[in-house]
Amino acid sequence: MKRGLISFYLAAISVVLLSTSGCADKNAVIDQNSEIPDHNWTYINKFRFDVNIDDPTIPYNLYMNLRVTADYKYSNIFVLITQTGHDKKPEIKRYELKLASKDGEWLGNGSGNLYSYQSPFRTNYKFPAKGVYHIYIEQNMRDNPLREVSDVGLRVEKGPPTP
């Protein structure tokens, strides 16, 4: 009887966890990552993310997601982020993401040999209109290919409403 009761509780907990783990972050418009083939990011390998904005009256926060291995040889990375939207005019900006402190300690969250980063590049940004925006991320370092970069991604989330 005790074993049956324990099995019942474990099954009930599993059902609850599975049903809630499928719930997406309600503030996230997109949170998508792309794997970089062979951990070698070349200049021609631009990653495109499509963002559907349905409410241009609220602010959004945009983040670049990045994962590098412990063998990545720099303490930073430069990227070009291009945004095109309803007017099709590209807006290109260069960003630097610090990956390690001056003493060489990785600043990201480590898991095994990988370090993950999520860095804001636009906060409280209002898209000009409803529609689908295309955001491209490309590496802008001297090395081609840039070795030991595992994944790159984009997160766009709804910010707090403006008063």
Lowest mean pLDDT, pick from 21-35, 61-75, 86-100: 21-35
Residue 20 covered by a domain: no
Full-model pTM: 0.81
In a domain, 4, yes or no: no
Give the residue from 152, 124, 128, 134 showing the smallest Cα distance to 52. 134
Residue with the larger pLDDT of the pair 80 and 7: 80
- Which pair of structure tokens corresponds to residue 17? 């966890």
CATH number at residue 59: 2.60.290
Alpha helices in 22-133 (DSSP H): none
Nearest-CA neighbor of 74 among 100, 41, 96, 95? 100
pLDDT at 29 over 60: yes
Into how many domains does the chain fold? 1
pLDDT in tens, 136-157: 999 999 999 999 999 999 999 9
CA distances from 76 to 11, 21, 33, 108 (A): 46, 33, 19, 11
Say what percent of the chain tops pLDDT 90: 75
- Confidence band (pLDDT; 50, 70, 90) for 21? very low
Please say if the pLDDT value at position 132 is more than 60.
yes
